[in-house]
Amino acid sequence: MPRLKSHSTTILTVRHRGKVAIGGDGQVTLGTAIMKADAMKIRRLAGDRVIVGFAGGTADAFALLERFETKLKDFPGNVPRAATELAKEWRTDRALRRLEALLAVVDARYSLLLTGNGDVVQPTDGILGIGSGGNYALVAARALVAHTDMSAADIVRRALELAADIDIYTNRNIVVEELSCET
Catalytic residue among 9, 10, 29, 170: 9
Do the beta carbons of residue 170 and residue 25 sit within 8 Å? yes
Neighbouring CB atoms inside 10 A of 173's CB total 16
The torsion defined by the Cα of 79, 20, 163 and 68, in degrees rounded to 10, comes to 20
Told to judge if 10 belongs to the known catalytic residues of this protein, a careful annotator would answer: no
Per the DSSP assignment, residues forming a β-bridge with 134 are none
Please state the separation of Cα 26 from the chain's center in Å.
12
Active site (catalytic) residues = 9
